[in-house]
Structure 1
């Protein structure tokens, strides 16, 4: 074995380089420290709210609302978060016992699911941003070409690419037995920097640049058409993207800082736990955004009503923005 086994807490954050001085024995035993207990409680909350909230979004966008391009995006986003939340009980059990009892396959699968959730979520947010940009920039083309069938194909490609990018972290997962306890850890050998570089580049940097570019184009177009004060069709998209970056940026930063560390202090270990938990929190925040962004909360007395109202309002707002843009462009053309 070329690297020292390290307990991972399933966040893929505690994966240290092969020169790590951290010993497995330091992690054996049950969850007794305050930080560990708080993290477990936080993950239980994420699991409960994530399953309920994303399950509600899946039911609404998949079965209750009329099929549209927008509901296709949000359905895919909710499915990604729901699948991740469904695997959290394995992580919670591991954090409490520091003993992985679910075998090598689930050790690899848990890592695969979290990475899949990260990639699929950010890729869908990129698609939503590009879709909004095209809708505003080329309204006539968008009206003729944006179909549910094409959106479904795009979603399938997103999941396929996310799955491919999620294979490397899962591939390096191994189980090490120490004092009758199994430790699920990442044995990256000499590939740690490569994995972190791929995760940062494709899961954060490139998506950020694309989204930033789309937003710049949108803002310029809306201001040019004097629409910025009269319509707000991008409020949910803005919050979803902002929430994703707030939740995942600490994870990416800690992962990069971890590359050059051969020893792990208590403060850095705490940073790993906090950033990992924050990354997981993104999976239950999206449904809450739908609820609190509903325009008329007084008329939406129930949780499901609020989610449906928010998504439906966002869809109609985007359509109105497209119509206004198209109308303004037509007037400009006529004037010329």
Structure 2
């Protein structure tokens, strides 16, 4: 996997020094050989990537099947179905990157170079935007239960999901613009060509960091702070268990993506850091980011109320119960709140 998505390989690797004794004729027939099997880090990341691909593909396929075909369609299943589709598409494209990492070069052409990289950022943006939407939805349901009971519909949720995906596609488009393929000294690489504009690299990195990490993080923190304060002052709700699946999803996203964003920000000033350490950081950070795509279905399974009871049940039942738990609890909360508001208005 070319985890260093934002590293300009042809410019940062001095191939001419490594092969300076070759004549021009010999360079033209130079045969590249992968060195991944000789590097412990590369082999480790290769194994991890294969595991992520297999678990993520199968796990998210199950979530799509359950939330899309086995469960009653609700606002909550609409959110989680979209999240699963995002992760499933990402895992479906992982074999291209795994092959690239194993062979040490890109063999799939210019078109797939652009698309494979775009899918990674499409997954990042669509996931975080959906997590923001779910957080806002939970917040509105708790603070304005009567309004949510009357206006929270599947049709509106579908529209919001569509807008989130459209925005994610738009923000992923820089990969289509800047991603290129180049061959040097017999090695074909898929890299980012930021030479078209002087500040294009910085603009792309900072926009991804702000739109895909900082701003969503702030919005989610605000929403959950409001939810916690509201529930603690509400006698009907004695615990925050109904929101632990969502909380785990948010925590997993930020833990998995934070190292990647740090590495990319450091890479903006790569002259000040050791190149080998930067590349290793980018590879590890991107591996952690990819791991988020298989963690989501795992969290659906193991974040139920009674783990022992769910452990004895089937895998499909675990997933269905975990995903439906928040929907059932939110519905009960909205119904109770509506009932209390109705009684209050009668007394007045």
How many equivalent residue pairs?
Answer: 327
CA distance in 1 between counterparts of 2:240 and 2:337 reads 11
| Secondary structure, aligned partner of 1:176 | strand
User: Post-superposition shift, 1:326?
Assistant: 3.6
Q: 1:254 to 1:243 in 2, by over 3 A?
A: same
| Correspondence 1:30 to 2:35 | yes
| Correspondence 1:229 to 2:238 | yes
1:215-226 equivalences under 5 Å are 215-226=224-235
CA distance in 2 between counterparts of 1:200 and 1:229 reads 37
Larger radius of gyration: 2
Q: 1:231 to 1:101 in 2, by over 3 A?
A: closer
For residue 190 of structure 2, what is the aligned residue in structure 1? 184
For residue 298 of structure 1, what is the aligned residue in structure 2? 309
CA distance in 1 between counterparts of 2:76 and 2:290 reads 24
Range 250-259 or range 100-109, more displaced = 250-259
For residue 91 of structure 2, what is the aligned residue in structure 1? 85
Which structure has more helix as a fraction of its residues? Answer: 2
User: Post-superposition shift, 1:315?
Assistant: 1.4
For residue 4 of structure 1, what is the aligned residue in structure 2? none
TM-score for both structures, normalised by structure 2? 0.88
For residue 322 of structure 2, what is the aligned residue in structure 1? 310
Match of 2:63 among 37, 57, 63: 57
CA distance in 1 between counterparts of 2:337 and 2:8 reads 49
Q: Can you give the 5+ residue segments of structure 2 that lack an aligned partner in the other structure?
A: 19-31
User: Post-superposition shift, 1:178?
Assistant: 1.8
| Correspondence 1:14 to 2:7 | yes
Q: Can you give the 5+ residue segments of structure 1 that lack an aligned partner in the other structure?
A: 1-7
For residue 5 of structure 1, what is the aligned residue in structure 2? none
| Correspondence 1:251 to 2:260 | yes
User: Post-superposition shift, 1:330?
Assistant: 5.0
CA distance in 2 between counterparts of 1:251 and 1:37 reads 19
1:126-275 equivalences under 5 Å are 126-189=132-195, 190=198, 191-230=200-239, 232-262=241-271, 264-275=274-285
Q: 1:140 to 1:11 in 2, by over 3 A?
A: farther
CA distance in 1 between counterparts of 2:256 and 2:192 reads 22
| Secondary structure, aligned partner of 2:175 | helix
Deviations along 1:89-123, one digit per CA (max 9) or x if unpaired, are 00000001112111100000011100000000000
Q: 1:239 to 1:161 in 2, by over 3 A?
A: same
For residue 335 of structure 2, what is the aligned residue in structure 1? 323
Question: Are the aligned partners of 1:115 and 1:166 in contact in 2 as well (CA < 8 Å)?
Answer: yes
| Correspondence 1:108 to 2:117 | no
